[in-house]
């Protein structure tokens, strides 16, 4: 255990290096995993390109057979695909049992036919920065009390190691075993595994070290202390990105939401760390929520986009503006429909998808993909099915809307 | 401009500039000048909040600005609220607010509380991770007009339905409004869980609460 944090009801494997974790599969589970992989293979075999070929072409701005499409079921929604939407097995079960986490994601990819699994972060480091934390039934675990009360506490904080601390090893084990399953069942060269090292350095300060409000306001109220804190969380985030790749992730990205802060605060106190994190991770992409229009140029100037291959923006940031921006910096653009866009009637969803495909594909030579962001727990599966269907239907090249 | 009008304008600007100590100083100064606390609220604080809301809608203000505006509002309300209560000043409505069971987030809820107080509502905060029955018991106890339920975590949104059902069981649903808030709480989703309205952010929550209050009064 690093620091002095405490996770209530932590599973036995908590704080075990991921290379030492051992969750053997029973014969039935082996069969189950094989079946999921068979279905995933069936889903992609009929297409001209494999998901990996399509991904590589997309990020390089080359020709593709159809628009890349992905969903972010996260731990919470993927568990619903596993239990047939019974709301019987809960997200907390997946957070405590990495085998369920793995099976839930395989079930989601098989069920919905998205092109690439994008595994969202399994932990925000709730207790690894000195806090008291607990598991919640239907959500990520959460820090309930910060352990950092004084500037001296910040000084003595040890930067956690995602390879062995807290729940991070569970995610690394899962990614390693997803890669192994793909290899074993003939998908190894066909489908990459994407993984998120969320949250970014500036959010870790609030979510996992100081508490959200103190963390949010620290850059303005106590900038010297803020820079000490974010220095540590940046070092951690870099290690997290590296650990994901060591476990087998082919695509490593991080979620972002710069616009919690004003552009000036972001520029003066945050952007430089995003640039460092992106370069040293290195990151393949950023996935944004919220309207980022006023912040993206600052992030670009800080070097946050230099190494990345793609930028994903939820449509709260105007789609036309982000298509233009990503073209200017020559990065693939993944247009992400937030949950409220999915939780609408299907004709509206269809019209939205068509409109965004039209804008997204208007600039040949720079990649374009589509995604659904954090899917609301209560989203009917029919809506997710419809989104995937519309992208595949209207996203076949040559685009003809 | 009279001295009073000047002080209202200065207070408004202190809110917009997120200057808590100046806002507190001006509030004390206004009270020393025998300005009624209700006027401080409605002619100084509330116009400042309206501008802050407009700026947020125009992407000129950001989440941290709202947190700081919320802090300024709370500091002013801490001074004038006891005076409003003892003067039995008219309130815009009475709201019982909390975060639903299973969800421990409180930043959004606290900003909404500040905004509602700043708009003249009497707000009773029951805290985070609250079961449905606690919302309803408190609403009955204080004779609330509206229950406000915050649920940031998508998977806890269904708790709003529990509150709606609990309100019906207690026989208060007809006369008591139910509004919910949090990311992804569209009007359709909220209504699906039995709420009358929803707000995705604090400013929308304020507008929708005012509209719901108007509707309830017209009943």
Sheet bearing B146-150, strands edge to edge: B121-125, B93-99, B146-150, B177-181, B197-199
Q: Which residue has the higher pLDDT, A350 or A376?
A: A350
Mean pLDDT computed over every residue of chain B: 91
Look up the CATH number of the domain holding residue B39. 1.10.1240.10
Q: Do A259 and B62 touch (CB under 8 A)?
A: yes
Clarify whether residues B126 and B159 are in a common domain. yes
What pLDDT, on a 0 to 100 scale, did the predictor assign at position A138?
87
Do B120 and B70 sit in the same domain of this protein?
Answer: no
Q: Does residue A401 lie in a domain region?
A: no
Residues in chain A with CB shorter than 8 Å from the CB of B107 are: 212-213, 216
Pairwise CB contact (< 8 Å): B184 & A217: no
Q: How many CB atoms lie within 10 A of CB B86?
A: 9
Alpha helices in A46-167 (DSSP H): 51-60, 74-82, 91-96, 98-112, 151-156
Residue A1 within a domain: no
- Chain A 277-306, CB below 8 Å of chain B: which residues? 291, 293-294
Q: Is B59 on the interface with A (CB under 8 A)?
A: yes
Identify whether the C-beta of residue B120 lies closer than 8 Å to the C-beta of residue B144.
no
Instruction: Give me the pLDDT at residue A1, please.
Output: 42
- What is the torsional sign of CA A298, A300, A301, A304? positive
Q: How many distinct structural domains can be found in chain B?
A: 2
Task: Quote the CA–CA distance of B65 and B47 in Å, as a whole number.
Answer: 16
Instruction: Provide, rounded to the nearest whole percent, the portion of chain B with pLDDT above 90.
Output: 66
The total number of residues shown for chain A amounts to: 401
Q: How far is B186 from chain A (nearest CA, A)?
A: 7
Same domain, B66 and B119: no
Lookup result for tokens 């100064």: B29
Token pair of B12, please?
């408004």
Dump pLDDT digits (tens) for B150-191: 998 777 888 999 999 999 999 999 999 999 998 778 888 888
| Residue A399 located in a structural domain | no
Q: Where are the alpha helices (DSSP H) in B58-147?
A: 63-86, 107-118, 132-142
pLDDT-based confidence at A2, cuts 50/70/90? Answer: low
Q: Are B157 and B128 in contact (CB under 8 A)?
A: no
If contacts are CB pairs under 8 Å, which of residues 82-141 in chain B contact chain A? 102-105, 107, 110
Pair B97, B183 in one domain: yes
Residue A209: C-alpha distances to residues A161, B71, B113 (Å): 15, 21, 25
- Which residues in chain B have Cβ-Cβ distances shorter than 8 Å to A216? 63-64, 67, 107
The C-alpha of A165 sits at a distance from chain B's nearest C-alpha, in angstroms, of 24
List the CATH number of the domain containing A122. Answer: 3.20.20.210
| pLDDT value at residue A377 | 86
**CB < 8 Å to B99, chain A:** none
CA distances from A363 to A61, A305, B163 (A): 10, 19, 49
What distance in Å separates the CA atoms of residue A380 and residue A42, rounded to the nearest whole number? 24
A136 touches chain B (CB under 8 A): yes
Low-confidence winner among A94-98, A118-122, A131-135, B112-116 (lowest mean pLDDT): B112-116
Q: Which of residues A88 and A375 earns the better pLDDT score? A: A88
Residue A340 contacts B, CB cutoff 8 Å: yes
The total number of residues shown for chain B amounts to 219
| Cβ–Cβ below 8 Å for B154 and A339 | yes
For chain A, say whether B154 makes contact (Cβ under 8 Å): yes
Domain-embedded: residue A210: yes
**Integer Cα distance of B6 and B196 in angstroms:** 39
Report the alpha-carbon distance of residue B72 to residue A366 in Å, rounded: 46
CB pairs under 8 A between A and B: 79
Tokens for B10, please give them: 């200065």
Examine residue A258 and state whether it is found in any structural domain, yes or no. yes
Residues 69-108 of A with CB under 8 A from B: 76, 91
Instruction: Residue B15: name the closest of B62, B74, B100, B59 by CA.
Output: B74
DSSP assignments along A244-276, one per residue: HHHHT-SEEEEEE-GGGS-HHHHHHHTHHHHHH
- Give me the number of domains chain A comprises: 1
Specify the pLDDT at position B1: 67
Same domain, B117 and B33: no
Both tokens of A63, joined, read 């020709």
In order, the DSSP letters of chain B are: --HHHHHHHHHHHHHHTT-HHHHHHHHHHHHHTT--HHHIIIIIIHHHHHHHHHHHHTTSS-HHHHHHHHHHHHHHHHHHHHHHHHTT---SEEEEEEEBTT----HHHHHHHHHHHHTTEEEEE--SSB-HHHHHHHHHHHT-SEEEEE--SGGGTTHHHHHHHHHHHTT-TTTSEEEEESTT--HHHHHHTT-SEEESSHHHHHHHHHHHHHHHHH-
Tokens of A382: 């029919």
Q: Which of B86, B105, B130 is the last residue of a domain?
A: B86
Question: Domain with B98 in it: what CATH number?
Answer: 3.40.50.280
Question: Where is mean pLDDT largest: B43-52, B137-146, B197-206?
Answer: B137-146
- Considering the entire predicted model, what is its pTM? 0.92
Give the Cα separation of A290 and B172 in Å (integer): 37
B42 and B120 in a single domain? The answer is no
Taking CA–CA distances from B55, the nearest residue in chain A reads A262
Which among B32, B66, B86 is the end of a domain?
Answer: B86
| Min Cα–Cα distance to chain A from B217, Å | 31
Residue A119 counted as domain residue: yes
Taking only the tens place, the pLDDT of each residue in A298-341 is: 999 999 999 999 999 999 999 999 999 999 999 999 999 988 78
Residues B102 and B206 in one domain: yes
- Rounded to whole angstroms, the Cα distance separating A247 from A174 reads 9
- Give A202's contacts in chain B (Cβ within 8 Å): none
The distance of A38 to chain B (nearest Cα, Å) reads: 30
Q: Is the pLDDT of residue B99 over 70?
A: yes
Q: DSSP 3-state assignment of B213?
A: helix
Residue with tokens 């000047």: B6
- Cross-chain Cβ contact B65/A216 below 8 Å: no
**Average pLDDT score over residue span A260-264:** 96
Chain B, nearest residue to A80 by Cα: B155
Both B29 and B61 in a single domain?
A: yes
B156/B164 Cα distance (integer angstroms): 14
Q: In the structure, what pLDDT confidence band is assigned to residue B103 with cuts at 50, 70 and 90?
A: confident
Quick one: B208 and B168 in the same domain? yes
Residue A378 is predicted with a pLDDT of 85
Q: Which of A319, A311, A310, A307 is nearest to A258 (CA)?
A: A311
Q: Does the distance separating the beta carbons of A220 and B188 come in below 8 Å?
A: no
Q: How confident is the model at residue A9 (pLDDT cuts 50, 70, 90)?
A: very high
Q: Which domain range does residue B168 map to?
A: 93-218
Alpha carbon distance A312, B150 (integer Å): 28
Tell me if B157 and A340 make a contact (CB, 8 A cut-off). Answer: no
- Structure confidence by residue, pLDDT tens digits, A160-176: 999 999 999 999 999 99
**Nearest chain A residue (CA) to B187:** A340
pLDDT at A184 over 80: yes
CB contact under 8 A, B154 and A378: yes
CA distance to partner chain B, nearest, from residue A257 (Å) = 11
Please indicate if any CB of chain B lies within 8 Å of the CB of A153.
Answer: no
Task: Name chain A contacts of B68, Cβ cutoff 8 Å.
Answer: 217, 220
* B62, B86, B110 - which closes a domain: B86
Which two three-digit tokens encode residue A158? 């040890």
Give pLDDT tens digits for A211-251.
Answer: 989 999 999 999 999 999 999 999 999 999 999 999 999 99
Both tokens assigned to A152 = 């001296």
Residue A183: domain span: 6-394
SS3 assignment, position A336: strand
CB contact B186 to A (< 8 Å) = yes
CB-CB: which of B102, B110, B157 is closest to A137? B102
Task: Say whether residue A139 is in contact with chain B using an 8 A CB cutoff.
Answer: yes
| A215 contact B CB<8A | no
């Amino acid at each position: 255990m690093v620091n002095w944090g405490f996770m209530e009801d932590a599973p036995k494997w908590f704080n075990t290096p991921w290379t030492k974790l051992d969750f053997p599969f029973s014969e039935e589970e082996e069969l189950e995993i094989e079946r999921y992989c068979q279905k995933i293979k069936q889903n992609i075999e009929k297409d001209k390109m494999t998901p990996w070929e399509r991904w590589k072409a997309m990020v390089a701005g080359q020709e593709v057979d159809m628009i890349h499409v992905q969903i972010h079921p996260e731990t919470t929604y993927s568990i619903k695909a596993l239990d047939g939407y019974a709301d019987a097995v809960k997200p907390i079960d997946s957070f405590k049992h990495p085998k369920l986490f793995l099976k839930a994601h395989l079930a989601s990819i098989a069920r919905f036919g998205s092109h690439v699994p994008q595994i969202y972060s399994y932990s925000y480091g709730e207790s690894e920065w000195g806090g008291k934390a607990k598991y919640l039934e239907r959500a990520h675990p959460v820090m309930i009390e910060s352990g950092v009360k004084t500037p001296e506490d910040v000084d003595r904080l040890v930067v956690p190691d995602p390879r062995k601390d807290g729940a991070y090893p569970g995610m690394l084990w899962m990614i390693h075993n997803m890669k192994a399953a793909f290899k074993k069942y003939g998908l190894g060269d066909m489908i990459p595994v994407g993984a998120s090292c969320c949250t970014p350095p500036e959010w870790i300060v609030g979510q996992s070290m100081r508490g959200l409000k103190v963390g949010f306001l620290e850059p303005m109220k106590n900038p010297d202390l803020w820079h000490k804190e974010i220095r540590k969380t940046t070092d951690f985030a870099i290690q997290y990105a590296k650990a994901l790749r060591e476990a087998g992730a082919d695509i490593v990205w991080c979620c972002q939401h710069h616009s919690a802060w004003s552009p000036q605060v972001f520029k003066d106190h945050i952007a430089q760390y995003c640039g460092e994190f992106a370069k040293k991770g290195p990151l393949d992409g950023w996935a944004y929520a919220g309207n980022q229009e006023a912040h993206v140029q600052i992030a670009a100037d800080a070097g946050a986009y230099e190494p990345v291959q793609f930028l994903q923006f939820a449509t709260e940031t105007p789609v036309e503006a982000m298509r233009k921006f990503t073209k200017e910096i020559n990065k693939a653009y993944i247009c992400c429909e937030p949950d409220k866009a999915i939780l609408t009637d299907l004709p509206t969803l269809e019209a939205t998808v068509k409109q965004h495909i039209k804008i997204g594909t208007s600039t040949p030579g720079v990649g374009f993909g589509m995604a659904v962001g954090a899917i609301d727990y209560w989203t009917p599966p029919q809506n997710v099915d419809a989104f995937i269907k519309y992208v595949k239907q209207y996203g076949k090249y040559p685009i003809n809307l | 401009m009279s001295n009073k009008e000047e002080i209202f304008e200065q207070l408004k600007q202190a809110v917009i500039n997120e200057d808590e100590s100046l806002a507190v100083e001006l509030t004390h100064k206004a009270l020393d000048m025998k300005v009624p606390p209700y006027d401080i609220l409605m002619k100084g604080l509330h116009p400042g909040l309206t501008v802050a809301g407009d700026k947020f809608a125009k992407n000129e203000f950001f989440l941290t600005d709202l947190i700081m505006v919320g802090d300024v509002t709370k500091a002013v309300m801490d001074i004038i609220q006891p005076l409003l209560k003892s003067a039995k000043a008219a309130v815009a409505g009475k709201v019982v607010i909390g975060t639903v069971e299973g969800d421990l987030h409180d930043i959004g809820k606290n900003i909404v509380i500040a905004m509602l107080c700043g708009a003249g509502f009497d707000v009773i905060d029951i805290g985070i991770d609250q079961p449905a029955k606690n919302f309803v018991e408190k609403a009955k106890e204080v004779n609330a007009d509206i229950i406000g339920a915050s649920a940031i975590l998508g998977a806890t949104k269904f708790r709003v339905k529990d509150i709606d059902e609990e309100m019906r069981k207690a026989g208060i649903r007809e006369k008591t409004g139910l509004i919910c808030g949090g990311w992804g709480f569209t009007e359709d989703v909220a209504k699906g869980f039995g709420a009358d309205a929803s707000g995705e952010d604090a400013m929308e929550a304020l507008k929708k609460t005012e509209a719901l209050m108007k509707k309830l009064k017209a009943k």
